[in-house]
Amino acid sequence: LGTALNALYNVGYINWIAKAKTKKVLVINAASLALSVIFAPALVNLYGITGAAFSWLIINFIGFVVSLDWLKIKEYPI
């Protein structure tokens, strides 16, 4: 599930690169690194391999949600 979210999150990531929004790329990469350093060791100590998988899921879910800004739904008058 984490890998599927990562694949979907890459759509937004590539969109940022194409539109030269490199600050967003830097912010999400820094946040992912920080979350990895915080969550991975703690969850691995508590739950083993399942904790590592959950850490991967958390990081990719957050990246996926943040990267959804490329989906802009426009309202059209009827």
Judged against a pLDDT cut of 90, whether residue 21 lies above it is answered with: no
pLDDT of 26 reads: 92
CA distance linking residue 65 with residue 61, whole number of Å: 6
pLDDT of 76 reads: 59
pLDDT of 67 reads: 87
What does the pLDDT look like over 31-76, one tens digit per residue?
989 988 998 999 999 999 999 999 999 999 998 998 888 777 666 5
